[in-house]
Structure 1
Amino acid sequence: MPRATLPTIVLIAAISLVGCTSAAPAPTTSASPGESGAASATPSTAPSTPAEAWRPAGTAVDTAGYVGGDGGVVFSSPSGNLRCGYSEYPNTTPWWWCMLEEQSVVLPSDPHGKCPEAVAPNGLGVLADDPAAVAESFCADAAESPALPYGSSISYRDMGCDSTEDGMTCRSLVTGAGFRLSRSDYELF
């Protein structure tokens, strides 16, 4: 499959996520490597009030080294397998996303049917400005981007991401909605 440029992936993914909201918080789901990528629902760990909002645990980096072509930020895991960012285009809702180059995890179906036929979702994203938003899957390719070292975090526009050897966790700093994604498993918050 030919690789699309970052603006193309972001536009494709943004189109997939526009208008995605939920009236009630979604349960946290996860998949462990021993479960062949199958997800199971567990109680949500999202904070119940903004005062309890999640904060990145890693050492903060300066976003200047991660500026993307659309004015957002883009970054990858040190392995290069995860590519993530914050994107904002005119007439679309700002959102955080991460996608996998290689994966053994099976992500939930694309809720909007935007993935090409016979192509499994390879990314998760969450709307940045919608307090009722929950993370959803999508299909995409992304250009290379600067690595966010393990143990580091990046915060931008009320969202933050932690880079760890166990994957990337991105969440709203206000609502706690977000996701954790790795080659072999994921969680939705």
Structure 2
Amino acid sequence: MLNYLTAGLLLAAGPVFADDIVMFQAPSGNIHCMMIDGEYAETRCDIREFTPSFTDFPADCEGDWGDSLGISPGDRRGRAICHGDTVMMQENPVIGYGNSIEHGGMTCEIAQQGVTCFNAGGAGFSIARAQQAVF
């Protein structure tokens, strides 16, 4: 478990803090995540290379689909995100396998098989090259 003293603190080999935002990537560089605290609390992870699990492209989505999953503190289920942006940034610090991060009432666990994020109610998502799921 990683613990941090203050928002705005940048730790070497730790997540980037900017106000209430934590950003990081898995060691493979294939999965990047952003955790937001406060009024707009949300956790989102994007994946670059993957076999899509979400293949029913929504008619109302005018962006990318299936490569981004999210959860908010009060959600009862994670969700796939229709988006036109990304949280993938080369400067996102790498968080090693076997670590977890808690921020904004949500937790992300980083494993070789992928990243799993969930809220206090247990709802969330898992994102990996082989499969993406919401629960």
Work out which structure has the larger RCO, using CA pairs closer than 8 Å and 6 or more positions apart in sequence. 1
In structure 2, the partner of 1:162 is 109
Deviation at 1:108, TM superposition (A): 5.4
Deviation at 1:156, TM superposition (A): 1.1
Deviations 1:41-65 (A, max 9, x none): xxxxxxxxxxxxxxxxxxx123453
Map of 1:117-156 to 2, 5 A cutoff?
Answer: 119-128=64-73, 130=74, 132-138=75-81, 139=83, 140-142=85-87, 143-144=89-90, 145-156=92-103
**Identity across matched positions, percent:** 25
Residue segments in structure 1 that go unaligned for 5+ positions in a row: 1-59
In structure 2, the partner of 1:183 is 129
In 2, the alpha carbon distance for the partners of 1:112 and 1:175 equals 30
For the residue of structure 2 that corresponds to 1:180, the secondary structure is: strand
In 2, the alpha carbon distance for the partners of 1:147 and 1:166 equals 15
In 2, the alpha carbon distance for the partners of 1:108 and 1:169 equals 20
In structure 1, the partner of 2:21 is 72
- Equivalenced residue count is 123
TM-score by length of 2: 0.77
Residue segments in structure 2 that go unaligned for 5+ positions in a row: none
Q: CA RMSD in A?
A: 2.4
Distance 1:69 1:107, change over 3 A: farther
Structure (1 or 2) with the greater helix fraction? 1
